[in-house]
Amino acid sequence: MSFFKRLKESISNKTEAVTNIFKDGLSKTRTAFVEKVGELITRRKKIDEEFYEELEEILIGADVGVNTVMELIDELRAEVKKRKIEDAAELQPVLSEKLIGLLKSDDENGLRMADDGITVILFVGVNGVGKTTTIGKLAHRFKSEGKSVLLAAGDTFRAGAIEQLEVWGQRVGVEVIKQQSGSDPAAVMFDAVQAAKQRNVDVLLCDTAGRLQNKNNLMEELNKIFRVIQREIPGAPHEVLLVLDANTGQNALSQAKLFGEKSGVTGLVLTKLDSTAKGGIVIAIRHELDIPVKLIGLGEKMEDLQQFDSEQFVHALFAGLIQEQEQSAGGDKE
């Protein structure tokens, strides 16, 4: 059975709606990346040094990351030798197989939830990456699953951040615990945890500052928040999600490295994948950091925040090629 057929079968039990969200959300990356690979394979036919150089350029252009690309090309060279591949067309399934390998993780991609009591999820990340929107969409998702949710407005330093979270709270029908602008974020978290306990909520989603005077101040503030939450709810926060804007490409990778080292990040959220042709950054981040991608933003709608799925991701990228293969197989049979 061909790789693409196996890939298609492995996601056939997933809902068609989710598959379509992935396909639609990744259409710009598919055009910029996979179609260029397809064009290269059609034009070159033969696998030689120039072929590898062009493939490198396409991968780096999609923000897959130089280190990751070099490793990927080395692995492709080894596979070509091992399998004695001469025709460039035979490289398509090998490439997609390697991409799934890079994206897959031993860690569970699902969000870690408390065995009992309140699940606390903390959101970190610089301003403007879509942190508040992600919190609102995740609150909607938990509510639609029948869970009770509370929001904590811990980003007290950015003008308009509290109001922005309140707008999402009203839209989703979830209460926001807040203090006035400029308040101590750790004090807001203390109030939020007490409110969550009193109301017996299932999930507490906490926004935090994206920027203070300097990075050290920001990390100290986060540590203070951690201590307050852990003292009140042992084992919390259950997730510390770093939100990154996929449009910023390699800059997102730098942010992930900085926050990952210093703030105990347990998972990544990549937003705005639908508006970038550089979705390859998901591969770079997943490969270069030992932090699982948990959620991805694939559009404006509430439902467009999806749990990351490496097979769905690669299937959505290579959707056109899979169709072509099926049509050509059908033509051969005739």
Q: Domain holding 90: CATH number?
A: 1.20.120.140
The dihedral region occupied by 305, where left means phi > 0, alpha psi between -120 and 50, and beta the remainder, is beta
167 and 305 fall within a common domain = yes
The 3-state DSSP class for residue 244 equals: strand
> pLDDT band at 298, cuts 50/70/90?
very high
What is the DSSP secondary structure assignment for residue 220, as one 8-state letter?
Answer: H
- Mean pLDDT over 229-239 rounds to 95
Q: How many residues in the chain?
A: 334
User: Is the predicted pLDDT of residue 180 greater than 50, yes or no?
Assistant: yes
Residue 158 shares a structural domain with residue 250: yes
Q: How confident is the model at residue 334 (pLDDT cuts 50, 70, 90)?
A: very low
301 is annotated as contributing to ligand binding: no
Asked whether residue 18 is marked as a ligand-binding residue, the answer is no
82 is in an annotated binding site: no
What is residue 332's predicted lDDT score, i.e. its pLDDT?
46
101 annotated binding-site participant: no
* 273 is an annotated ligand-binding site residue: yes
Task: Report yes or no on 112 lying in a domain.
Answer: no
211 is in an annotated binding site: yes
Q: Indicate the Cα dihedral angle 313, 315, 319, 323, nearest 10°.
A: 180
> Is 129 annotated among the ligand-binding residues?
yes
114 found inside a domain: no
Whether residues 141 and 77 share a domain: the answer is no
Annotation-wise, does 208 bind a ligand? Answer: yes
**Same domain as 153, residue 293:** yes
CATH of the domain at 204: 3.40.50.300
Instruction: Measure CA 60 to chain center.
Output: 19
- Model pTM? 0.89
Shared-domain flag, residues 182 and 126 = yes
The annotation status of 210 as a binding-site residue, yes or no, is yes
pLDDT confidence bin for 158, thresholds 50/70/90: confident
Note the pLDDT of residue 214: 58
Residue 113 inside a domain? The answer is: no
pLDDT value for 6: 66
pLDDT at residue 2, as a whole number: 61
For 110-129, the three-class secondary structure string (H helix, E strand, C coil) is CCCCCCCCCEEEEEECCCCC
22: how many CB neighbours lie within 10 A of its CB?
25
Identify the pLDDT of residue 303: 92
Domain that holds residue 163: 119-310
Say if residue 213 is in the same domain as residue 274: yes
Give the count of alpha carbons within 13 A of 236, CB side only. 28
**pLDDT score, position 78:** 94
61-91 pLDDT, tens digit per residue, is 888 889 999 999 999 999 999 999 988 888 8
38 is in an annotated binding site: no
Does the annotation list 139 as a binding residue? no
Whether residue 67 sits in one domain with residue 32: yes
Query: Does one domain contain both 324 and 286?
Result: no
Give a yes or no: residue 269 inside a domain.
Answer: yes
Q: Is 202 found in the same domain as 127?
A: yes
Of 106, 53, 92, residue with least CA distance to 317: 92
User: Same structural domain for residues 276 and 136?
Assistant: yes
Whether residue 176 sits in one domain with residue 89: no
Q: Could you tell me which residue, 324 or 274, shows the higher pLDDT?
A: 274
82 belongs to a structural domain:
yes
The domain total for the chain is: 2
**Of the ranges 211-215, 228-232, 276-280, which one carries the lowest mean pLDDT score?**
211-215
For the ranges 2-11, 82-91, 235-244, 245-254, the lowest mean pLDDT is seen at 2-11
Query: Is residue 67 assigned to a domain?
Result: yes
**pLDDT at residue 115 greater than cutoff 90:** yes
Is position 209 annotated in a ligand binding site? Answer: yes
What local confidence, expressed as pLDDT, does residue 7 receive? 63
And the tokens for 325?
């293969």
Rounded average pLDDT over 171-178? 97
> What per-residue confidence (pLDDT) applies to 13?
63
Based on the fold, state whether residues 197 and 269 are members of the same structural domain: yes
Please check if 125 is assigned to a binding site.
Answer: yes
